[in-house]
A and B are shown apart, each in its own frame.
Chain A
Amino acid sequence: MRALLKAVTFPEILMGLKETLKHLFTPSVTLQYPHVKRSLPGGYRGMLSLLRYSDGGEKCVGCDLCEATCPSRVITVVSAEVQGEPTKRYAKEYYMDMTRCVFCGLCVEACPVDALGMTKEYEWAVYDKRSLRLNKEQLLAIGDRSFPERERPVQDQYHNVATFNIGRPQLPQKQY
Chain B
Amino acid sequence: MHPVCEAVQKVFPEVVLGVSVDYQTPTIEVHRDGLISVATFLKENSDLDFNHITDICSVDYPEDDERFEVVYFLHSLPHRQRVVIKTKLLEADPSVESVTSIWRGANFLEREVYDLMGICFKNHPGLRRILLPEDYDEGHPLRKDFPTEGKGWRCSFDFFPDLNEQPRSEIDHDAAEHERQVFVRSNGESGHRGVSGGLQREEEFLLNMGPQHPATHGVLRVVLTLEGERIAKATVDAGYLHRGVEKLAEGLTYGQIIPHTDRLDYVCAMANNYAYVRSVEMLLGLAVPDRSEYIRTIVAEMQRIIGHLFWLGTQALDIGAMTVFFWTFREREELLDMFEVLCGARLTLNYFRVGGVDRDFKPDLVARLSRFLDAFPSHIDEYDILLANNRIWLARTKDVAVISAEDAINFGLTGPVIRGSGVAYDVRKFSPYGAYGDVEWDVPVGKCGDTYDRYWVRMEEMRQCCRIIRQCLDRLPNGPIMADAPDIVPPPKENVMRDMQSHIHHFVLFTHGFHPPAGAVYCPTESPKGELGFYIVSDGSARPYRMKIRSPSFIHLGALDHMSRGYLVSDLVTVFGTYDVVMGECDR
Contacts and interface: CB of A to CB of B under 8 A. Distances in A.
Interface in A60-112: 63, 65, 68-72, 99, 102-106, 109-110, 112
B330 interface: yes
Contact of B341 (A41, A71, A162): A41
A34 to B, nearest CB: 18
A99 B161 CA distance: 13
A72 B262 CA distance: 13
Contacts of B146: none
A114 B385 CA distance: 52
A19 interface: yes
Interface in B303-353: 323, 327, 330, 333, 340-341, 343-345, 348, 350
A25 interface: no
B334 to A, nearest CB: 9
Contact of A13 (B391, B497, B500): B391
B390 A16 contact: yes
B255 A106 contact: yes
Contact of A20 (B159, B323, B498): B323
Contacts of A68: 510-511
B92 interface: no
A128 B493 CA distance: 37
Interface in A100-134: 102-106, 109-110, 112-114, 118, 128-130
- Among A104, A128, A129, the one with the most B-chain Cβ atoms within 10 Å of its Cβ is A104
A112 B333 contact: no
A102 B348 contact: yes
Interface string B190-207: 000000000000000000
A129 B161 CA distance: 9
A43 interface: yes
B344 A105 contact: yes
Interface in B268-298: none
Contacts of A104: 258-259, 262, 348, 350
Given A44-B340, A68-B511, A69-B511, A103 B345 contact: yes
A105 B510 CA distance: 13
Contact of B160 (A13, A15, A72, A129): A129
Contacts of A70: 256
B497 A129 contact: no
Contacts of A129: 159-161
A71 B382 contact: no
B497 A162 contact: yes
Contact of A112 (B258, B259, B345, B496): B496
A133 B391 CA distance: 55
Interface SS, B side: helix
Nearest to B337: A41
A160 B506 CA distance: 18
B370 to A, nearest CB: 18
A102 B330 contact: no
Contact of B497 (A23, A71, A105, A154): A154
A4 interface: no
Given A69-B256, A160-B498, A13 B390 contact: yes
Nearest to A113: B497
Contacts of A161: 497-498
B159 A12 contact: no
A106 B511 contact: no
A128 B350 CA distance: 28
A19 B386 contact: yes
B344 A44 contact: yes
Nearest to B507: A65
B344 A118 contact: yes
A160 to B, nearest CB: 6
A45 interface: yes
Contacts of B467: none
Given A71-B256, A158-B497, A130 B160 contact: yes
A65 B511 contact: yes
A112 B256 contact: no
Interface in B73-96: none
Interface in A141-156: 154
A5 interface: no
Interface SS, A side: loop
A40 B346 CA distance: 11
Contacts of A12: 389-391
Contacts of B345: 44-45, 103
B252 interface: yes
B503 interface: yes
A3 interface: no
A29 interface: yes
A108 B497 CA distance: 15
Nearest to A68: B511
Given A71-B252, A104-B348, A106-B259, A112 B511 contact: no
B144 interface: no
Nearest to A45: B344
Contacts of B498: 158, 160-162
A36 to B, nearest CB: 15
B382 A19 contact: yes
B386 to A, nearest CB: 5
Nearest to B353: A109
- Among B257, B344, B350, B503, the one with the most A-chain Cβ atoms within 10 Å of its Cβ is B344
A97 to B, nearest CB: 9
B140 interface: no
B182 interface: no
B230 interface: no
Nearest to B390: A12
Nearest to B338: A41
A68 to B, nearest CB: 5
Nearest to B341: A41
Interface in B378-431: 382, 385-386, 389-391
Given A71-B260, A161-B498, A41 B510 contact: no
A42 B389 CA distance: 44
A43 B362 CA distance: 13
Contacts of A45: 343-345
Contacts of B390: 12-13, 16
B359 interface: yes
B163 interface: yes
Contacts of B490: 109
A20 B385 CA distance: 10
10 contacts: A15-B385, A40-B340, A45-B345, A63-B507, A65-B510, A71-B256, A99-B159, A104-B350, A109-B490, A160-B498
Given A99-B159, A162-B500, 15 more contacts: A12-B389, A19-B382, A23-B327, A40-B340, A45-B343, A45-B344, A45-B345, A65-B507, A71-B256, A102-B262, A102-B263, A104-B258, A105-B350, A106-B259, A162-B497
Interface of B: 159-161, 163, 252, 255-260, 262-263, 323, 327, 330, 333, 340-341, 343-345, 348, 350, 359, 382, 385-386, 389-391, 490, 493, 496-498, 500, 503, 506-507, 510-511
